[in-house]
Amino acid sequence: MTSRGRGAAKRIPDLADNRGGAYDDGTRRTEILQTAASLIASSGLRTSLQEIADAAGILPGSLYHHFESKEAILVELVRRYYTDLERIGEIAQERLDKPDSRPVADEIFELGSAIARCAVQHRAALQMSFYEAPSANQELVELLQKPPTAVQQAMLQTLRAGRWSGYIRSEIDLPTLADRICQTMMHVGLDIIRHNAAPDQTAAVLCRIMLHGLAARPPSDRELDSSPAFAAAEAAIKTWSDENESGANDKAAHVRAVARAEFGRKGYEVTTIRDIASAAGLGTGTVYRLIGSKDELLASIMESFGQKAGGGFASVLRTDATPVEKLDALSWVNINALAQFPDEWKIQLAWIRQCSAHRCHASGEAGRAELGQHQRVGSIPGRVEDPTRLDAPIAARHAQPGAGVRDATTTTESTAVGRD
Amino acid sequence: MRLRQLRALLSEGIDSGDIRIQDSPSLSMLARYVMDIIWVPENIVRAQGKQAALVNARDTVLRGAADRGRRK
């Protein structure tokens, strides 16, 4: 790429220098936050103030000296995450204004890696900023509704530089690609994706895939549209609406449909069986008799969702299409699952927010099977060990800080059909 | 189970030359990454529709956004 910008003597920090984050200040307050973040990242948002105090080695009363509530801790964690992300975006944008002879690909990797490292460092905040849900804490709601935009803008500017240099293909929609890359880099902060790999290494592989593609020979849309795998995906997707129609007259199916909409609208955490009964025009006792407890209801909804998406997955894999055609068809199944079942999607996310694999136990194999990989990050609809610990319904909203433009969710979504 | 199936699919593609990835991590890790990116983010599906999301998936996962003739 050719040199750009005005040129100036001021030294701009290197993105790779941002490893410590803006708030690594060694204060007691920061230590408590780091302890809380570590617990929440591993145990989910059910983590109690008592546990945070125990892990930090202080009495709960002393903890209150620093934070008035658990939600105050969550607010601060999200605030620090956003501050670091904003800083990364600003540094990247400043660098774009300076003369730079590095290839655009290197700049994309560098920014992507910085986002990924930030996501890993702030993975508790990342986890809670992913998904939208009602919260009693207005400050947290407002904070999550205003994610920083600087990293996405920086990525967009970097991609534009790539377009000018001829590196990025002319038919690619750059804002969408910037959004996609930024979100994917944030997924590196999810243990389920990165596993034990280094953040930079994970970011580099994901960037390479998105920039260079997995197909040895780039397939045309026409080829992919006519593949046997795509036909199998289409056939499987068609059965989803058939199933919905056939279940419409069933009373239990009606309650599940109402519950799905209520969970999706209000959030799983705060929706009660009484709410569902009221919305369905039935008595609470009738709803219990038809569908059991709220957890059982959630498990049955997710089982149905998982069967649909998983059925499409299996149909595609059974065909004699090429691996590239099968990957394409799997993407199509997933896109349709997201488009047709947005409520199920949101419900699924509620569990990621609330608990972790260490803390939530499935009441049945059905829920475990359908949520697939989610169980690793803690999204199993099942028995709640202590319902009183659902004390902090969190209004998480975006997967994508920076998506003021497009609010986002992520990939853990991937997990509806993915498990090991 | 499905991650294993995806790993097998990637292995088959790499062996046949249908799929190629530079400096590939282990197949297990690659399967995790691919499991992630074969899900187009929900906001993109919602804002742009299914067809545009499909094109985005193809332009990233399969074809890649870069011009293959210009690697840098």
For residue A106, the model assigns a pLDDT of 93
> Which three-class secondary structure string do you get for A19-75?
CCCCCCCCCHHHHHHHHHHHHHHHHCCCCCHHHHHHHHCCCHHHHHHHCCCHHHHHH
Q: Are residues A145 and A80 in the same domain?
A: yes
Does any domain span residue A251? yes
Q: Are residues A204 and A230 in the same domain?
A: no
Higher model confidence: residue A328 or residue A261? A328
CATH number at residue A194: 1.10.357.10
pLDDT at A38 over 80: yes
pLDDT at A105 over 80: yes
Overall average pLDDT of the A42-55 stretch: 83
Closest by CA position to A379, among listed A201, A210, A117, A191: A191
Q: How confident is the model at residue A172 (pLDDT cuts 50, 70, 90)?
A: very high
Closest by CA position to B60, among listed A184, A212, A151, A122: A212
Q: Is residue B66 classed as helix, strand or coil in its secondary structure?
A: strand
- The secondary structure element, H or E, covering residue B23 is none
Overall average pLDDT of the A80-99 stretch: 91
Q: Are residues A228 and A318 in the same domain?
A: yes
> Does the beta-carbon distance from B3 to A406 stay under 8 Å?
no
> Does the beta-carbon distance from A373 to B43 stay under 8 Å?
no
pLDDT at A394 over 50: no
**The last residue of a domain, from among A212, A242, A277:** A212
Q: Are residues A192 and A263 in the same domain?
A: no
Which chain B residue has the Cα nearest residue A328? Answer: B58
CA-based nearest distance B35→chain A, Å: 6
- Give the whole-angstrom CA distance, residue A280 versus residue A26: 53
**The last residue of a domain, from among A212, A245, A279:** A212
A113-142: b (≥16 Cβ within 10 Å) or e: bbbbbbbbbbbbbbbbbbbbbebebeebbe
- Give the whole-angstrom CA distance, residue A111 versus residue A128: 23
Cβ pair A18, A87 in contact under 8 A: yes
Q: Are residues A165 and A246 in the same domain?
A: no
> Does the beta-carbon distance from A210 to B37 stay under 8 Å?
yes
CA-based nearest distance B38→chain A, Å: 5
**The last residue of a domain, from among A166, A184, A212:** A212
Any idea which of A132-141, A258-267, A333-342 has the lowest mean pLDDT? A132-141
For residue A23, the model assigns a pLDDT of 58
CB contact A147 to B (< 8 Å): no
Q: How confident is the model at residue A391 (pLDDT cuts 50, 70, 90)?
A: very low
> Does the beta-carbon distance from B61 to A339 stay under 8 Å?
no
CA-based nearest distance B15→chain A, Å: 11
- Looking at the whole model, is its pTM more than 0.90? no
For residue A298, the model assigns a pLDDT of 78
Does any domain span residue A53? yes
Segments forming the whole domain that contains residue A70? 15-212
CB contact B27 to A (< 8 Å): no
Any idea which of A169-173, A350-354, A370-374 has the lowest mean pLDDT? A370-374
Q: Are residues A192 and A322 in the same domain?
A: no
Q: Are residues A187 and A245 in the same domain?
A: no
> Does the beta-carbon distance from A210 to B64 stay under 8 Å?
yes
Chain B contacts of A162, Cβ < 8 Å? 66
Does any domain span residue A410? no
Give chain A's domain count. 2
Of A1, A323, A373, the CB nearest to B13: A323
Does any domain span residue A157? yes
Quote the percentage of chain A above a pLDDT of 70: 71
Longest dimension (CA), chain B: 38
pLDDT at A6 over 70: no
CATH number at residue A378: 1.10.357
- ipTM over 0.85? The verdict is yes
Higher model confidence: residue A390 or residue A156? A156
Of B4, B19, B40, the CB nearest to A323: B19
pLDDT at A117 over 80: yes
Q: Are residues A252 and A320 in the same domain?
A: yes
pLDDT in tens, B14-54: 999 999 998 888 999 999 999 889 989 888 999 999 999 99
Overall average pLDDT of the A137-154 stretch: 85
For residue B72, the model assigns a pLDDT of 56
pLDDT at A177 over 90: yes
Residue A66's alpha-carbon distances to A36, A39, A54, B66, in angstroms, are 13, 17, 15, 49
> Does the beta-carbon distance from B58 to A338 stay under 8 Å?
no
Q: Are residues A208 and A228 in the same domain?
A: no
